[in-house]
Amino acid sequence: MLDIWMNLAYLAAAILFILGIKGLTRPKTAVRGNMMSATGMLVAVAVTLLDNSIISFELIIAGAVLGGVIGFVLAKKVQMTAMPQLVAILNGFGGGASLGLAAASYLQTLGGAGFADGALGTITMITIALTVIIGAVTVTGSVIAFAKLQEIMPGQPIGFPGMTGFNGLLLIGALASSVMLAIDPTNTLYFWLAIGAAAVLGLTLVLPIGGADMPVVIALLNSYSGIAAAFAGFVMGNTVLIVSGSLVGASGLILTNIMCVAMNRSLPNVLFGRMGADTGGEGAGDEIYEGKITSASPDEVGMLLETAQKVIIVPGFGMALSQAQHAVRELADAIERNGGEVLYAIHPVAGRMPGHMNVLLAEAEVPYEKLVEMERINPQFDDCDVAIVLGANDVTNPMAREDKGSPIYGMPILNVDKARTVVVIKRSLSAGFAGLPNPLFALDNTLMVFGDGKKAVVDITTALENG
């Protein structure tokens, strides 16, 4: 009877997860969706604690308290600008949890009653092997993604000749070890070989990927963590873990595809290509920029905005780095008080994770209806008086439309160059994540405001209000 009630509760939790994800698709229902998902997880955890096979409630409570404290501290201390690396490392935690669960199940069975014979035993071992492989790849890959985003290690592609072939050998080795483990479950060597090969594969998969592709990598690692959790659910016979893991895995793959479409690149090209490698960035930049850059002061931009009827703000990682989102909101308010209309152009891969700009602007309480997606905002640049670009380098680069030899050729971009005047706020003329110069900076209708993003925006706002 208890099993029936537990399964019904798991079903209720799964429904709450699905409804919660549906709620997260719209800003107005996002908070409610988040609460529904959290409630579903609470139900799932509470019901699991009723399981008769629980060995030590003390350890579970200690783990919950420790995790809760860590989560609370992270929520309070981590800045919004550091959300990408936090998401990256949380993906690793999810993969690590699934890896640990599968490993514990294998070792416990090995030291206990042993493995089932026949097809059931083989399927169980295959499931365990797939869980540890995907979990290990997720852990190490997420660590590298975190290290690159946190600038602990260089964000540029890191690799060596033949790296793709080496990755293929690692994958074959991990799968071969899994097959041998299914044939002989008692040989722990195959188990550790599968984990080792997968862990190295996670490193070598993410090391060659540059900063421009990090939004795709984060979405993909999120999917990996969900798939690992779903397989872990099969290992444990836990329905709610299978459902929740499948939801995360599927949504992560969908998001990964959206990111790839936004960059006009295939997933294999992201994983095995090197955007920005060997482009000769700095020399090419000197040739493009020489004698063509027009600088402007915040006061001059403030005067320009006094008569602007339509202004489109294009946020990028420069806004995140300088934590300028609140200053941007204040500038928009000043423009609107002056009679102008303000919209925000959101490119799907602006920043370092999917939705990065949306999160930052939401923190500054920018009305969501003012955030306009690329497909809908691009036609509006033609009648835009001023487009203000805050560090969104690669997603505004005209080379994506005009230079067939460019690594980003064909990538959909924000057509800011079609605005009557473009104001680019940037510390320098340095290349973006893709390592490419941006001809936008040298156009006749572009004004460059050099300096810290937040300070520049504050000075522009002051000039506008005092004008």
**Could you list the active site residues?**
394
Alpha helices by DSSP H, listed for 184-291, are 188-206, 214-236, 239-263, 267-272, 281-289
Q: Is 373 helix (H, G, I), strand (E, B) or coil?
A: strand
For residue 369, which of 389, 342, 387 has the smallest C-alpha distance? 342
Tell me how far CA of residue 88 lies from CA of 141, 222, 398, in angstroms.
9, 8, 30
Q: For residue 7, count other CB atoms closer than 10 A to its CB.
A: 13
Residue whose entry in the numeric block shows the structure tokens 């991990």: 174
Q: For residue 153, count other CB atoms closer than 10 A to its CB.
A: 13
Supply the Cα-derived Rg of the chain in whole angstroms: 25
- Cα separation of 195 and 172, whole Å? 13
Question: Which tokens sit at 215?
Answer: 């939004």
Collect all residues with Cβ–Cβ distance below 8 Å to 386 and sequence separation of at least 6: 304, 305, 308, 310, 311, 312, 419, 420, 421, 422, 423
Q: Judge whether 340 and 308 are in contact, CB under 8 Å.
A: yes
- Cα separation of 253 and 220, whole Å? 6
- Cα separation of 13 and 5, whole Å? 12
Query: Phi/psi at 134 (nearest 5 deg)?
Result: -65, -40
Question: Cα 128–141–257 angle (5° rounding)?
Answer: 90
CA 99 to chain CA centroid, Å, is 22
Q: Which amino acid is at 431?
A: A
For residue 399, which of 210, 273, 264, 257 has the smallest C-alpha distance? 264
Question: Which tokens sit at 156?
Answer: 């540029």
Q: Is 346 helix (H, G, I), strand (E, B) or coil?
A: strand
Tell me how far CA of residue 18 lies from CA of 91, 245, 249, 255, in angstroms.
20, 12, 13, 16
